[in-house]
Chains A and B, each alone.
Chain A
C-alpha cells in the first residue's frame, strides 16, 4: 500500500534534489579543480602567476564562528594586498577548504591543498587539536604551514621547522603578561576554570607555575569538558574564600556558564578575570551576561572602536567590515571574533614580507623562505599589523605582542590596561633553527 502513488516519490526526489543542490553549493568549494566560492581576488596592478595560499578554514563544526570570521578577514586582507601590488608583484589567490574543525579531516585538507591544489603555502588553522594533528603532515610534505592558533604548541618545540605562528601570540605569553596584573589588582587566592583539553592545560600549567612566584595561591583547578552544557555542578569546587575566578572557556556554553555562576554566587561575587576566547562571537550585551558587569577580560585586540584608537586599527576595522561594537556592518547580530581574526590579516602580511625578503618564486625556495622568516625580529605597527608592534622570535617560530585588559562596563568592553611586548616574553625552550630543512 505505501509507495503506491508516484507523487510521493516525485516529492521525495524533489526534496532530495533540493537538499542535494543545497549541499552541492557547499561542496563546490571542496571539489578539486572547481572554482566554486573560493575567493579569486585579482587586482589590476599585480601580474604574473598568482601566489596560491591554501586556507584551511573551520567552516563547519565547533569552530564555525571563528572560521566564518577568519574567512572574512582573510578575504579582506587578500583584497587589500592585491589592491596594493600583491606579493612580490604577484597576485594572491586563496584556495579555501573546510576541515569541519576535525583533526582527521584537517590532515586530509593539508594533503589536498599541498598535493592536488599545489598551493605555495598553507595557513589559517585555529583549533589546537587540529593544528597538532596537521603540523606533522605539513612537515612531512615540507610545505610552510602558518597557523593562527594561539596555543603554545608552536613555541613549545613539539611541532617542526615548517610550522610557524607569526600573526598571533601564544597562551604562555598571554598568561605571562597578565598574571602580575591579576595578582596585583584582583587578589592572591585564585581558582582556575578551564577547558579540559590541551588549550586549557596551557592555562592551568602556566598560570599554576607563575602564581606561586608572584605570591599567589591556586585554590582550585576546575577542568570543564568542552561539550559541557551545564556548569552549576562545578561551582561547589570553588572555595568560598576565593579572591579571583580565572576563567577561560571555549564553545557555545559561555553564557550558561556566566549565568549559572551568577545564580550560584549571587552577591557573594568573587572578582573575575576571563579570557575573551569565551566571548568571541558573543554580544557583551546579550541577556545572561549581566553578571560579568565590573569583571575583567583579556582582549588581544579591543573589540569596541576607540579603545585602541589608531589609524591602522580604524582602517582594518573598516576593510574587514566590522562596526563600532565589534559586529558585522552588514548584520548587528553577527559578532566578530575580533581578538583572534586579526591574526589572519597579520599572518598574510608576514608572508608578504618573507616572500619578498627571500625572493621566493616557487616551492624550490622553501628553505630560503623559512630562513628569511627566522631572521625576522621586529615587526612595526602599520596597515599590515594593526594590532600593534610585534617581535618575532625565529628560534621559536612564534610572535610576541601587546595584550589588553578590559573591564565590562555598561554592556561593553573598556580597556583599562595595556601590556608591553616584553611583559609576555618568556625564556625560550625550543630552537627550530637547529632542525634540518
Chain B
C-alpha cells in the first residue's frame, strides 16, 4: 500500500511538473520551429514571468491580475528584443545564439539590480489541501496542472485554427514561399517570438506560489526545455509536448523511488539516446 501511495505521488508530481515544463518547452519549440533560431534567453522569460507576477501581485494584491499582466509584460519585452536585437541581425542562427546569450545576462543582471537576490513568495490564490489516503497534496498544484493543460489546448487551437496559426505554419514550412503568398513573415516572426515568451512567462507566473521568484530560476527551465525540444524533435510541437510529459513523469517516478540526481541522469541519457538513434527526435522534423 505504501508503494502504491508512492507511485501515485510520483505520477502526480510528474504530471504537474510535466505540464508546466510543456508550456515552457512549447514556447522554445515554437520559436525554433517558426523562426529557426535557438533562443538561449528563453529561461529568462520564465524568470521574468515569475518576477513580474510577484511584482504585480505585491502591487495590486491580486494574483489573478498578475497572471494576466506578467505574460503581457514579458510579451512586450520579447517584442522589443525581436525588434532591437533579432531583426537587425536578420535572425542569422549563429549570431542569434550569441545575441540571446547576451540577452540572458542582461535580463538576469537587470533583475538582480532592480529586484535583488531574494527568493520572494506569493500567496497561492486558492489554497486547499487534498487529503489522499497516504499523504496530503497541494490543491494549488492541481489547479496549476489544469490551467497548464487548458493553455496548451488553447495554443494548439491558435496554431491549427486561426489565421495567425496558418501563417506560422506556412512560415515554418517555407518562409520564402510564404512571403510570396503575402504572409508578413517579419510580423509572424515577431508574433511567434512574443507568443513563445508569453507561454513560458505564464509557466513562470504559475509556479511563483509554489517555488517563489528568484533571479537565477531561468537556468533550470532552459535546460529542461531544451531536453524536451531535443527529445521531441526540433520544431515539432506535438513531440515537445509528449517529451515534456515524458520527462516530467520519468523525473517524478525515478526521483521518488530512487534519487532526483538519478532522474536527471536518466533524462540526459534519454537525450543522448535520441540524438544517437533518431537525430530528428521522436516525432521527426517538420511535423506540428
Contacts and interface: CB of A to CB of B under 8 A. Distances in A.
A96 to B, nearest CB: 16
Contacts of A335: 118
B255 interface: yes
B84 A12 contact: yes
Contact of B138 (A26, A65, A263, A282): A263
B211 A3 contact: no
A111 interface: no
Nearest to A15: B84
B135 interface: yes
A252 B119 contact: yes
B85 A65 contact: no
B217 interface: yes
A227 B13 contact: no
Interface in B36-74: none
A431 interface: no
B10 interface: yes
B109 A8 contact: no
Contacts of A286: 121
A225 B216 CA distance: 15
B160 interface: no
Interface stretch (A81-89, A159-167, A231-239, A344-352): A231-239
Most chain B CB inside 10 Å of its own CB: which residue of A23, A234, A288: A288
A64 B117 contact: yes
Contact of A2 (B13, B88, B110, B121): B88
A230 B210 contact: yes
Given A255-B121, A287-B121, A68 B113 contact: no
Contacts of A9: 88
B109 A23 contact: yes
B88 A68 contact: no
A11 B212 contact: no
Contact of B137 (A229, A263, A334): A263
A64 B112 contact: yes
B129 A266 contact: yes
Most chain B CB inside 10 Å of its own CB: which residue of A8, A196, A254, A259: A259
B239 interface: no
A141 interface: no
Interface string B100-117: 000000100110110011
B116 A233 contact: no
B87 interface: yes
Contact of A233 (B9, B136, B138, B215): B9
Most chain A CB inside 10 Å of its own CB: which residue of B131, B135, B256, B261: B135
A396 to B, nearest CB: 32
Contacts of A233: 9-10, 13, 252, 255-256, 260
Contacts, number: 126
A65 B109 contact: no
Contacts of B260: 224-225, 228, 233-234
Contacts of B137: 232, 263-264
B87 A230 contact: no
B285 interface: no
Nearest to B221: A229
Interface in A51-79: 60-62, 64-65, 67-68
A398 to B, nearest CB: 28
Most chain A CB inside 10 Å of its own CB: which residue of B10, B113, B122, B211: B211
A400 to B, nearest CB: 30
B220 interface: yes
B131 A22 contact: no
Given A263-B138, A264-B136, A334-B116, A2 B109 contact: no
Interface string B257-278: 0001100000000000000000
A253 B211 contact: yes
A337 to B, nearest CB: 11
Interface residues of B, number: 48
B112 to A, nearest CB: 6
B261 A225 contact: yes
A62 to B, nearest CB: 7
Given A263-B129, A282-B119, A236 B6 contact: yes
Contacts of B212: 252-253, 255-256
A265 interface: yes
A19 interface: yes
B157 to A, nearest CB: 30
A3 B83 CA distance: 10
Interface in A236-258: 236, 251-256
Interface string B233-268: 000000000000000000010011000110000000
A260 interface: yes
Interface in A1-59: 1-3, 8-9, 11-12, 15, 19, 22-23, 26
A264 B135 contact: yes
A281 interface: yes
A287 B122 contact: yes
Contact of B109 (A1, A60, A252, A264): A60
A251 B131 CA distance: 29
Contacts of A227: 220
B29 interface: no
Most chain A CB inside 10 Å of its own CB: which residue of B117, B135, B136, B212: B117
B40 to A, nearest CB: 16
Contacts of B112: 60, 64
Most chain A CB inside 10 Å of its own CB: which residue of B17, B83, B118, B256: B118
B232 to A, nearest CB: 22
Most chain B CB inside 10 Å of its own CB: which residue of A22, A232, A251, A259: A232
Interface in A333-360: 334-335
Most chain B CB inside 10 Å of its own CB: which residue of A11, A12, A19, A263: A263
Contacts of B119: 251-255, 281-282
Contact of B210 (A61, A62, A256): A256
B140 to A, nearest CB: 9
Nearest to A281: B118
A228 B135 CA distance: 21
A233 B261 CA distance: 12
B13 to A, nearest CB: 5
7 contacts: A60-B109, A253-B119, A253-B212, A255-B121, A256-B210, A262-B129, A286-B121
The 3 closest A-B pairs by CB, nearest first: A64-B117, A252-B119, A287-B123
Given A12-B84, A230-B13, 5 more contacts: A19-B106, A23-B106, A224-B260, A232-B137, A252-B212
